[in-house]
Every structure is written in C-alpha cells, then in structure tokens.
A and B are shown apart, each in its own frame.
Chain A
Amino acid sequence: MRNRGGSFSRRAMLAGAIALAGMAASGGAQGADIAIVVRPDVPVDNLTFAEVRRLFLGDRQFWTSNVRVTLLVRAPGARERDVVLKTIYQMSEAQFRQYWIAKVFRAEAAAGPRIVYSNEMAGELVSGMQGAVAFMLADQVPKGLKVVKINGLLPGAKDYPLH
C-alpha cells in the first residue's frame, strides 16, 4: 500500500520546487539572446531574418537538394519558444499550433517540428541529425555546433533580432 499522505507531501514539495526552479531558470535566462544552431556540415553561415522566418515556417524545406531541413522546437513554456513565436512567427501559442496542423493538412509538410524538452536535448539532436536546426540560449550552445548569423550578426551583437 502506498502512503497517500507521504505521496501528497512529496508532490507538494515537488510542485514548489518546480515553481522555484522555473522562476530561477526564467530569471537566469532573462535577456539572453537566442541562437540558431546547426551542424557544421550545413552549408549555411548567414541568413537574413526573412530567410530564418521562411525556414521556421516550413516554407524552406531543403538546405541543399540532398539535405532536408528538420526543425526542432522547444516545448511550450520555454523562454526560447516564446521569443521565437513572438519575433519569427508573430503568433500566439494557439495560432502556432493551428499553423502547423494546417500546414500538414495542406500537404505542404509531412510533419510538424520535432519537440525538444531542453537545450541539451536540442544540442544532441542537432549533432546527430543531418539538416537539423534548433534555437537555444546563446550561452548554452554546446561545442561542435555552428551558430548561424542573422543579418550578419551573431548573438550578443547590437541589433541582433532574437532576444
């Protein structure tokens, strides 16, 4: 038999810890730029902001004829996702979900973006998948990945658009 009282207190403590961790994470990440990262073998170093938008809208689906783009998007709640929805997509969470349902329904894409739960997971998948592209906090980009310039600017530069 499970101890229901003990389970409740653990759950209450855990919920509190989650909220605290979330606030800490939010506070720590506040203001950091969001980097667009790819594997070094992706033949792109710089994109205009409009090209980034086409990429994340699923309108550009190939890096080259042999390399298909795979979009990795953070799960709801992540600051990185909020920034990308606000600046690139200019959509609310509901509009974003409807956009991708419609995109697949129109046969314009075989599937929506892959959801990742952490920057670490995004980094690992970008490293392992040819053509994958993800966005993550600029100070958390793992070694071995390429940060794509936007309008010729790297994260941290003045006028860098994703923050």
Chain B
Amino acid sequence: MRRIALYSVLLAMAAPWAGAQTTDRATKELIEKLLARIDGLEKRVAELENGKATAPAAAPEAVTAAPLAKAVSATQAMHQSHDQAPAPQTAGPEATPVYPSLKIAGFSDLDFSATNLHSAATGFGAQTLLETHSGFEEGQFTLHLSSALSPKVTMFGEITLTARSDAGTGSPAAAGFNAEVERIMIRYDANDYFKVSFGRYHTPINYWNTAFHHGQWLQTTISRPEMTQFGGSFIPVHFVGSLIEGAAPAGGLNLNYAVGMGNGRGQVISRGGDFSDINNNRAWLVDSFIKPDALYGLQLGGSLYHDSLNPLTAPAAREWIESAHLVWQKETPEFIAEFANVGHQPISGATASNSQAWYVQTAYRLPWLQKLWKPYYRFEYIHVPKSDAIFRTVVPTFHASTFGVRYDITTFAAFKFEYRSYVRRDAPNFHGFFGQTSFTF
C-alpha cells in the first residue's frame, strides 16, 4: 500500500518535469534518474519493512511516515546534487532559513602547453603557461565557500592550491603546491543601494578580475589576459581593505558602484598588502558601471585607483590607474574589451611615466552540434615605456593574438584548445599550442 502511495507521489512529482519534454535525451536522462531514485526508494522501503518485522507489532503508521519522508527528502537531495548546478539549492520543506548556511563549490583545471620558447618568458604570469619545455601542468584547485550568517550578513571565501616549481621542500625547492587565501570577505547588506564589506578582494578596477576570479571554467579562454594575470604586476590583482558598493535602477541604466580603501600593493608589487600596509598612505578606488535595461547583456564601466608605492627594486612613486571596459555578456556573440593606463610619478621628482594595456576578445557559440562549440579570438597589448622604473623589469612589452575553441563536454566541464603568437620588444617572438580541461564541481 505504501509502495503504491510512494509511486503515486513520484508520478505526481515527475509529471511537470516530463511535461515540457518529448522523447529527447533530457527526457531519457530524467527517466533514468527517476528509475534510479525508485531503486533507492525500493531499497529503503525494503529496509523499513525488514525493520518493521523486528519492531513492535503495533507501530503506528504515522511513525513510519516520518522516516519515509526523510528518505524521499534524502533521495531528492542526492538527485538534486547531481542534476543541479552547485548554486541553485533545493527548497526543503522548511521555510525558515538556517544560519550559518555554508556552501562549498570548486573549480579546477589541467593544462598542456608546447611553445618554441628557448628561455624564460620574463614578466609573464606563471598561469599564462609559457614554459620552455612542453608538457602537462596541474592548474589550480580552487574551493569557494559562501555562507549567510544572517539575512543581512554573508561571508565569502576562495582558497587555491596552485602547482609551482618551487613550492615544495628541499634545497633547491622541489615542485609542490602553494596554498593561498585568494579572497575572504564579510559583507553587511543594508539594502540594494548600500553594502559594506571588509576583507581581501580581487581589486574591482577591471572587468575580468571580478568576473571570473580563479574559475578557469567560467572564462572562455585558457588563460587570463596578461594585464590582469595572477602573479602579474600591471594592475594590483588583490586588494585588502574595505569596500562600499551598491546598485540603483537609475532610470533603467542600472548603475553599480564600488568605493574602496585598503593597503594597496606590497613591496613586491604583484602582491597585495596582506599583513599591513607598507606605508601610511592607503590605496583607494572608485569603480562604476552600467547595465542598461534597453540593451540586456551590455556592461559599460570605468574606474580610478590611487596608491603610494614603495617597491623593493625601484624608487617610491605615486600610482594612478584609469581603466574602462565594454562587455557584451551574451555568447552570440561574446565581446570583452578593456583598457587600463597606469601612471607612475616618482616622489623624487623624476620623470613620470604612463604604461598602457588593452585587449579585445570575441567569441561566438555556434548554433550547430548542440551548441557545444565556441571559437574565440583575443588580441592583447601591453606597452611599458623604458622610463618606467617600476614596471620595466617585471611587466613585458608585447602584443599577442590567441585563436582557440572551447568545447563544453558537459554542462560543468569544458575542453579548450588554443594557438598563440607573441611579439615582444627586445626579445625573440614565439608561439605555442595550449590545451586545457577545466570544470566546476
């Protein structure tokens, strides 16, 4: 009797799902999943029946109903965890949220590179995968944690384990993994217009830096543009301090803003001031962008950043960064363009310098072959004048073209294949082939 009732419940639950499908692959998968659930439930019913045989004979129906409901809920959750993206969550029977509500998601990637480089590509970030030897590389293993602590307070964290040639033990250091807290923040949301947070961020003066973070699977290409590469120095990738941010409809423009104050760059300028600032001048930033209702998918924005630098290997200077971006967030086509100008004014009064970087990336998800293929192209450019004492030894001057294709093997995993060609100032040109599989879990 209970089994019949159980089947009826399942049938009622399944009907709306099946409703929008005919006999396509999704429907078949759905039926297979439902059958798997039935197997699980049958097993559970059998267990309950066996348990009932040894239990007191007069066990009331209501008592067995509760474990049954739990079993259904558990199988639902199991089914959900494999069928749904990590972000959407199953609505349980309880309407009241529970705090804290920790959720963990992950990203990772494995890479292959082969170039005709004969010496180290100085100034490029390690994750640009420019090695003198071809081979496979373990990318990053990234864990993302989010937890609502109350209706208005939320924490977010991002931890990475990154393969490095010098992260292991011994002398010289062996290869190993480097652990890093990439982002950690706690945010109080007063409303949509005003949110205040404290922590370690990816500096919000650049679109890519705050759109994809360490989730290689999220981005179309294998690697980030060099101007915003992890371990690179052109823009300060990390920012330790506080942000005030929010959004307002603004007559359909959907104006978003962020204002921040923090430690700025460390003495090694590719690093943020994690422990404390290296001087008594805080860095500050203002960032703003619009997402107009009338052009759904468009984002247009700009930002301003200021810091005082005391680098290890160059004279102290004031740094100003102006940047802008234009993005079409859809995939037919996808378009991302960014520009940044970094100005350094030595405090000693020496000649000021300005370095520029920009890139344009376009991609298109092909309408055929189940829309799994997305070819792409990116042109990127960085120019550092020789008068820039801070950048000239750590930021390469080059331009490069990247041709590639992304193939989404499942909803949550992709293969990417690229050919890149680099033209450098004062160094030989080179090119290479690159491959990656990246995924979320």
Contact = CB atoms under 8 A, between A and B. Distances in A.
Contacts of B87: 97, 100-101, 103-104, 111-112
Interface string B188-201: 01111000000000
Interface in A54-91: 54, 59-62, 64-65, 68, 72-79, 81-82, 90
Contacts, number: 201
A90 B10 CA distance: 31
12 contacts: A26-B21, A62-B189, A77-B16, A77-B20, A78-B20, A100-B88, A101-B218, A101-B440, A107-B187, A114-B91, A115-B80, A125-B95
B47 interface: no
A76 to B, nearest CB: 7
A141 B422 CA distance: 60
A113 interface: yes
Nearest to A117: B13
A95 B374 CA distance: 13
Interface in B144-199: 144, 146-148, 151-152, 154, 156, 158, 183, 185, 187, 189-192
B102 to A, nearest CB: 10
Contact of B19 (A25, A94, A116): A25
A44 interface: no
Given A15-B31, A18-B14, A68-B151, A98 B88 contact: no
B368 interface: no
B141 to A, nearest CB: 15
A84 to B, nearest CB: 12
Interface residues of B, number: 77
B68 to A, nearest CB: 17
Contacts of B146: 104, 107, 110-111
A106 B15 contact: no
B271 interface: no
B390 to A, nearest CB: 30
B19 A115 contact: no
